[in-house]
């Protein structure tokens, strides 16, 4: 039986150093470290995420896919700036860059918009990966760089033609599913917008990919969301949070509609989250960053097992 670690002692030491750097970064700015439950009443709202279902005395509970719900309740209760380093669990995710159980760094800054939060992410990255210059460009500009249509303005048929030329095999009825094509476009930007070893922020998304970001009205309207990509790896996802409870409820309902359209089981929203959102979320921006991936990039590893003490125990 292979019981030994999959990471070297040196990689584990680097990992510990990076965790210390992260804590230093937030301590210096007075951001409070918090620790919220991993076991919750509700499964993830995102139709693309699959939560692990467990049982408590025979009734269902779910391992959290991120600490978002609990952290938003803290924010609504007046916690101020908070950060958390915790495990997150996502079923059906495994591979060189995915683990069903992984370490997430999630934080929220009051009074920040997505640009101010990108500054903060860049400052943190500078501690861990000094010398790495991070470009900032809109999703539309990076799509152009990749020879792809404009994610906001292109017609569904243009997106479909681009995807087909790329080798996308749509199944029946999905050839012009705009949201699907935009997700494909984003995956191409992740892969090709920057050469190996380089990276940056992609920001300002179409409203269909808003998640829980604020939408700036206009023509087209723009979602204040960003992603951090380094060396072709998606490292962080953040946005200027929707402020009001009604807006958040509407997004949950929209996710549920997508789930129903795809034939997935409906998921009850977290009642405590909804109550907190009705009470009111302060103006803030939040981001989640994959710590295992960050350590992987910092050590030059090509897959997560090399930076996890036991990176294959789930197999």
Residues that bind other proteins (CB under 8 A): 46, 48, 92-93, 95, 98, 163, 166-171, 174, 179-180, 182-184, 186-187, 190-191, 209, 211, 227, 234, 237, 288, 290
Task: Name which of 83 and 205 has its Cβ closer to other proteins.
Answer: 205
**In the bound complex, what is the minimum distance in angstroms from residue 167's beta carbon to other proteins?**
4
Q: How far is CA 43 from CA 56, 85, 243, 246, 270, in A?
A: 14, 20, 22, 20, 8
Task: Name which of 14 and 152 has its Cβ closer to other proteins.
Answer: 152
Q: Rounded to whole angstroms, how far apart are CA atoms 136 and 172? A: 37
- Sequence-distant (≥ 6) Cβ neighbours of residue 54 within 8 angstroms: 39, 60, 61, 62, 63
3-class state of residue 252 by DSSP: helix
Q: How many CB atoms lie within 10 A of CB 33?
A: 13
**In the bound complex, what is the minimum distance in angstroms from residue 148's beta carbon to other proteins?**
13
Q: How far is CA 259 from CA 77, 187, 221, 264, in A?
A: 30, 21, 24, 5
**In the bound complex, what is the minimum distance in angstroms from residue 267's beta carbon to other proteins?**
16
Q: Are strands 222-230 and 215-216 parallel, antiparallel or unpaired?
A: antiparallel
Tell me the residue length of the chain.
315
Task: Name which of 42 and 185 has its Cβ closer to other proteins.
Answer: 185
Q: Are strands 134-138 and 199-205 parallel, antiparallel or unpaired?
A: parallel
Task: Name which of 31 and 228 has its Cβ closer to other proteins.
Answer: 228
**In the bound complex, what is the minimum distance in angstroms from residue 8's beta carbon to other proteins?**
25
Task: Name which of 232 and 282 has its Cβ closer to other proteins.
Answer: 232
DSSP 314: T
Q: Which tokens is 45 given?
A: 């709202």
**In the bound complex, what is the minimum distance in angstroms from residue 131's beta carbon to other proteins?**
25
**In the bound complex, what is the minimum distance in angstroms from residue 202's beta carbon to other proteins?**
12
**In the bound complex, what is the minimum distance in angstroms from residue 177's beta carbon to other proteins?**
9
**In the bound complex, what is the minimum distance in angstroms from residue 213's beta carbon to other proteins?**
10
**In the bound complex, what is the minimum distance in angstroms from residue 15's beta carbon to other proteins?**
20
Task: Name which of 106 and 120 has its Cβ closer to other proteins.
Answer: 106
Which phi and psi angles does 201 have, rounded to 5°? Answer: -105, 135
Quick one: how far is CA 152 from the chain centroid? Answer: 21
Nearest residue to 40 (alpha-carbon basis) of 277, 281, 278, 270? 270
Task: Name which of 11 and 162 has its Cβ closer to other proteins.
Answer: 162
Task: Name which of 191 and 260 has its Cβ closer to other proteins.
Answer: 191
Q: Are 297 and 233 in contact (CB under 8 A)?
A: yes
Task: Name which of 29 and 314 has its Cβ closer to other proteins.
Answer: 314
Angle between helices 291-299 and 9-28 (to 10 degrees): 120
């Amino acid at each position: 039986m292979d019981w030994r670690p999959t990471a070297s002692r040196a990689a584990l030491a680097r990992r510990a150093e990076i965790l210390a750097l992260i804590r230093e970064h937030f301590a210096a700015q007075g951001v409070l470290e918090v620790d919220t439950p991993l076991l919750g009443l509700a499964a993830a709202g995102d139709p693309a995420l699959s939560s692990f279902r467990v049982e408590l005395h025979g009734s269902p509970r779910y391992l959290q896919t991120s600490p978002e719900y609990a952290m938003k309740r803290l924010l609504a209760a007046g916690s101020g700036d908070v950060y958390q380093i915790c495990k997150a669990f996502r079923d059906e995710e495994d591979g060189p860059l995915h683990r069903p159980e992984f370490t997430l760094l999630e934080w929220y800054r009051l009074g920040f918009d997505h640009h101010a939060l990108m500054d903060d992410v860049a400052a943190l990255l500078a501690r861990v990966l000094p010398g790495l210059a991070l470009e900032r460009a809109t999703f539309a500009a990076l799509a152009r760089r990749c020879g792809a249509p404009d994610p906001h303005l292109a017609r569904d048929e243009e997106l479909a033609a681009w995807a087909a030329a790329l080798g996308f095999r749509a199944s029946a009825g999905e050839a012009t599913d705009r949201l699907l094509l935009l997700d494909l476009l984003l995956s191409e930007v992740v892969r090709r917008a920057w050469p190996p070893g380089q990276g940056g922020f992609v920001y300002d998304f179409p409203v269909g990919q808003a998640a829980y970001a604020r939408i700036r009205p206009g023509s087209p309207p723009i979602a204040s969301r960003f992603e951090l990509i380094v060396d072709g790896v998606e490292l962080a996802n953040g946005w200027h949070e929707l402020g009001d409870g009604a807006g958040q409820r509407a997004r949950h309902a929209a996710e549920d509609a997508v789930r129903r359209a795809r034939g997935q089981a409906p998921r009850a929203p977290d009642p405590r989250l909804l109550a907190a959102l009705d009470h009111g979320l302060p103006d803030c921006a939040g981001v989640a960053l994959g710590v295992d991936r960050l350590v992987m990039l910092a050590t030059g590893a090509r897959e997560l097992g090399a930076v996890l003490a036991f990176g294959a125990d789930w197999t």
